[in-house]
Amino acid sequence: MAPDPEDLRLIKAAQRGDQRALDRLLAKHQARIYAICRRLAGNDADALDATQEALIAIVRGLGRFDGRAAFTTWSYRVATNAALDELRRRGRRPEPGLPEYEQADDTYIAGRESRDPSEIVAAGIDVDSALAELPEEFRAPVVLRDMAGMDYAEIADVLDLAPGTVRSRIARGRGRLADVLASGHGAEQTTNSAHESELAGNQIPPDERQSP
């Protein structure tokens, strides 16, 4: 991605201490950063924690950002690492939460070839459960490609991998997902306690959230 002129202007101002510019910059990108974290983490609580960590890391590292790469490339790398770190800290695979399209939110971020949410509901497909079946090394490139719309070179940069490795992992990740869906493992899960709590009051149980 080519550097966005508006991003560069906001970054330069933020680097000089302009908090308003910093706020604008983060506001512009927070939704997509969250979307990446959400797909990688598999539930809202972990995604919000990862997003917070990502924003903190972005602010801390902004002084070193030189603008040669697009801000999106850099910030997506930070978001990906934050989400994966969150998973590793918790020492578990992503715990699927309430399918996000059932939450009372007005804003949605979709990838380039998104499927109608109503179709997903009708098919009983749980995105989080399906992605949870993928190992981390496949899940990240697939999410960056199909959720964030990054090209292979950018993903290689974000994940610090060779482009050929990225292609291979994306292909294998997509194939694994296709197998998961075909076997019916992507059906909605309704048994875990966190999910039941969310159904009851659309609240994320406190004991499920850890402070960052």
Partner 1 sequence: MTMTDEPDSVDELISRYLDGEATDAEIARIESNPALRARAESMRTAIELVASPVAIPEAALDQIRAAVVAASPSTSEQVTDLEAAAAERRARAERRGRVMAVAAACVLLAVGVVAVRSLPGGDDADETTDAGAVDTTSADDGADSTADGDFSLNAESLSSSASASASAMADESEVEMAEADDMAEEAMPEEAMPEEDGADSAESESDAAGDEVAESSVVPPQLFARTDQLNDELGTYADADALVADVVATYGDARQAAPFVGTDEIGLCTEAEQLLLDELVSDPLGFETASADLAGDPVIVIIGSDIDGNLAVLIHPADNCAAATAIGGAERS
- Contacting residues toward partner 1, per CB under 8 A: 5-6, 8-9, 12-23, 26-27, 30-31, 34-35, 38-39, 44, 48, 51-52, 55-56, 59-60, 100-101, 103, 105-115, 117, 120, 125, 127, 130-131, 142-143, 146-147, 167-168, 170-172, 174-175, 177-179, 181-182, 186
**Whole-number Cα distances in Å, 211 to 26, 42, 45, 90, 208:** 21, 18, 10, 12, 10
CB within 8 Å of 121: residues ≥ 6 apart = 99, 101, 102
Choice between 33 and 157, CB closer to partner 1:
33
DSSP code for 146: I
What minimum distance in Å lies between the beta carbon of 60 and partner 1?
A: 8
Query: Reduced to 3 states, what is the DSSP secondary structure of residue 125?
Result: strand
Q: Toward partner 1, which CB reaches closer, 73 or 117?
A: 117
State in angstroms the smallest separation of the CB of 46 from partner 1: 13
Nearest distance in Å: CB 126, partner 1:
9
How far, in Å, are 52, 69, 118, 143 from residue 176 at the CA level? 30, 32, 23, 13
If the CB atoms of residues 60 and 88 are measured against partner 1, the closer one turns out to be 60
Is the Cβ of residue 58 or residue 77 nearer to partner 1 in the bound state?
58
CB of 172 to partner 1, least distance (A): 6
Query: Which one, of 206, 140, 138, 209, lies nearest residue 177 by Cα?
Result: 138
Q: Rounded to 5 degrees, what are φ and ψ at 108?
A: -130, 145
Distance separating alpha carbons of residues 72 and 204, to the nearest angstrom: 29
Q: Please identify, using beta-carbon distances, which residue of 58 and 91 lies nearer to partner 1.
A: 58
For residue 192, the minimal CB distance to partner 1 (Å) is: 19
